[in-house]
Amino acid sequence: MERGYILALDQGTTSSRAILFDRNSRIAGMVQKELRQYFPQPGWVEQDAEEIWQSQLEVARAVMRQTGVSAENLAAIGITNQRETTVIWEKRTGKPISKAIVWQCRRTAPLVAGLKEQGLDGMIRAKTGLLLDAYFSGTKIQWLLDHVAGARAKAERGDLLFGTIDSWLIWNLTGGRLHATDYSNASRTLLFNIHTLSWDPELLSVFNIPPSLLPEVRPSGGSFGETLPELLGGAVPLAGAAGDQQAALFGQACFRPGMAKNTYGTGCFMLMNTGAKAVASEKGLVTTIAWGLDKRVEYALEGSVFVAGAALQWLRDGLGILESAAESESRAAQVEDSGGVYFVPAFVGLGAPYWDMEARGAILGLTRGTGRAQIIRAALESLAFQTRDVLEAMEGDASLKLRALRVDGGASANNFLMQFQADILGTRVERPAITETTALGAAYLAGLAVGFWSGTKELEKNWLLQQSFQPRMPEMVRNRLYEGWQEAVGRVLSAKPLSRT
């Protein structure tokens, strides 16, 4: 029986997806299931780790059933995941001790402020490439150990395990046989030294985290054990794991230094490959491990934007002025422009390049003439403005001008947004034929590890352009609109606090 497929498990913030790829990198089947989000307090975001696992298993089984692909037809599985989201579970029972704290959650902002006051930023940045922010896993783990009854004592006895979503899935897929993560996910925890490639004792002590909690760190392409036979009807090798943004960089075939992609999902994440060099940012970006292959790792510069497609979800679920995210495209096109309206979606503070945990969202420039279409348009435009903020930082850090930006992710399907993006950047935007590049990257990592594909040269040839968007906005207009955006952001930064009760 031919092993003609790789199964990618893409556990994103919005949904769990299972996608089958054939040898030509074509999608042979895909099943997706939306996930519940919990917002128990302002600025808090949680998910149910059991639901994450069950939904991921369900979509994997469903795509195999729908396509008639069995475990014997799978050469390997590759896992990719929303990063930083933190799960702690009991080693003996495999039960999570609480809901997962999602990457967007701001509950640990006071802990971060305390660490900043101790002047620890510099040391942490030098070792991890990251900034001190509630976004990363370190303070989330600390918070759970200190707030879930009995957790710290159990952790100290070695009874608990921590994992980002990749580790949680690997643990469950292997029936609790393997507690592991990969370099790219480890590099998002604030606990991993990205230069020595090891958990750092000084950082563990800063965050007060017992080492027994931590997973073993492995290369992103390589062995992560195999699935319990009863889960998918046979044992399948788990041969790849990577954080979703790094996987998307790989899936976009950005294998060489200077190549970059931007993913428009829940958030927006631009990553540039910097090769074997860990470039330290001076412009508010983070340095992260792109992937580890064999015994070496490659690095990337990253601009992380916390709210992108999530702004459309809010218009749909919070305000109820959209039927679906996709409808935003036709609504935005109903009007010539946003009528001077700016939407700053700082629902959970602002990430790169501002890193302001206390900022909160605003819609500015409202007049009696403002209608639904202008607000929807302003929300979409905010994705493009935030991307310009990040691209300018990246070009500054890397001392280069990008010739074209490769895009992917759910909202990259929006043609209005992609054209506005090209216009606001003054740079060509290139959308590939496969925009499921996160899953594709995970499949590539796993496929290379088991010899399903011969090497990155073969994969580069699989990258096909679907549509390119050329900038056509006059420079004067571009600059005026962007200046308006910068002014709008200036109004929400916490240096100018809103009075809050």
Ligand X SMILES: O=P(O)(O)OC[C@H](O)CO
Ligand Y SMILES: Nc1ncnc2c1ncn2[C@@H]1O[C@H](COP(=O)(O)OP(=O)(O)O)[C@@H](O)[C@H]1O
Binding positions for ligand X, rule: CB under 6 A: 12-13, 82-84, 103, 243-245, 265-267, 304
* SS3 state at 89: strand
**From the list 29, 78, 215, 265, which residue makes contact with ligand Y (rule: CB under 6 A)?**
265
Residues in the chain: 501
**From the list 66, 313, 370, 456, which residue makes contact with ligand Y (rule: CB under 6 A)?**
313
**What contacts 213, CB < 8 A, 6 or more positions away?**
88, 141, 155, 160, 161, 162
**Residue placing its CB nearer to ligand Y in the complex, 167 or 266:** 266
User: Is residue 326 a contact point for ligand Y (CB under 6 A)?
Assistant: yes
> How many residues sit in the footprint of ligand Y (CB under 6 A)?
19
**Residue placing its CB nearer to ligand X in the complex, 250 or 452:** 250
Distance of closest approach, residue 329 Cβ to ligand Y, in angstroms = 6
What is the rounded distance in angstroms from the CA atom of residue 74 to the CA atom of residue 51?
25
What are the binding residues for ATP?
Answer: 13-15, 266, 309, 313, 410
The token pair that represents 234 in the structure block = 């046979």
Distance of closest approach, residue 83 Cβ to ligand X, in angstroms = 4
**What contacts 402, CB < 8 A, 6 or more positions away?**
260, 391, 394, 395, 427
78, β-bridge pairs: 8, 240
Distance of closest approach, residue 335 Cβ to ligand X, in angstroms = 28
User: Is residue 467 a contact point for ligand Y (CB under 6 A)?
Assistant: no
What are the binding residues for glycerol?
Answer: 83-84, 135, 244-245
312 with 348: CB under 8 angstroms? no
Distance of closest approach, residue 289 Cβ to ligand X, in angstroms = 13
Distance of closest approach, residue 21 Cβ to ligand Y, in angstroms = 17
Output the DSSP codes for 305-327: ES-SHHHHHIIIIIS---S-STH
Distance of closest approach, residue 247 Cβ to ligand Y, in angstroms = 11
The token pair that represents 432 in the structure block = 């590939």
Find, among 428, 445, 429, 449, the residue nearest to 437 by Cα. 445
The token pair that represents 497 in the structure block = 């606090």
Q: Which does 410 bind (CB under 5 to 8 A by kind): ligand Y, ligand X, none?
A: ligand Y
Q: Which does 328 bind (CB under 5 to 8 A by kind): ligand Y, ligand X, none?
A: ligand Y
Other beta carbons within 10 angstroms of residue 24's beta carbon come to 8
User: Is residue 13 a contact point for ligand Y (CB under 6 A)?
Assistant: yes
Per-residue contact flags (x/-) with ligand Y for residues 412 to 441, judged by CB under 6 A: -xx---------------------------
**Residue placing its CB nearer to ligand X in the complex, 100 or 151:** 100
Q: Which does 83 bind (CB under 5 to 8 A by kind): ligand X, ligand Y, none?
A: ligand X
- Cα–Cα distances (Å) from 13 to 84, 328, 333, 336, 404, in that order, read 11, 20, 28, 33, 27
Q: Which does 84 bind (CB under 5 to 8 A by kind): ligand X, ligand Y, none?
A: ligand X
Can you tell me which residue has the tokens 């369900």? 58
What are the binding residues for ADP?
Answer: 13, 17, 266, 309, 410, 414
319 with 76: CB under 8 angstroms? no
293, β-bridge pairs: 221, 296
User: Is residue 14 a contact point for ligand Y (CB under 6 A)?
Assistant: yes
Q: Which range in 66-74, 310-318, 368-376, 480-488 contacts ligand Y by CB under 6 A?
A: 310-318
57 with 231: CB under 8 angstroms? yes
User: Is residue 312 a contact point for ligand Y (CB under 6 A)?
Assistant: yes
**Residue placing its CB nearer to ligand X in the complex, 73 or 245:** 245
- Cα–Cα distances (Å) from 478 to 428, 482, 483, in that order, read 14, 6, 9
Binding site for ligand Y (CB under 6 A): 12-15, 265-266, 309-310, 312-313, 325-326, 328-329, 409-411, 413-414
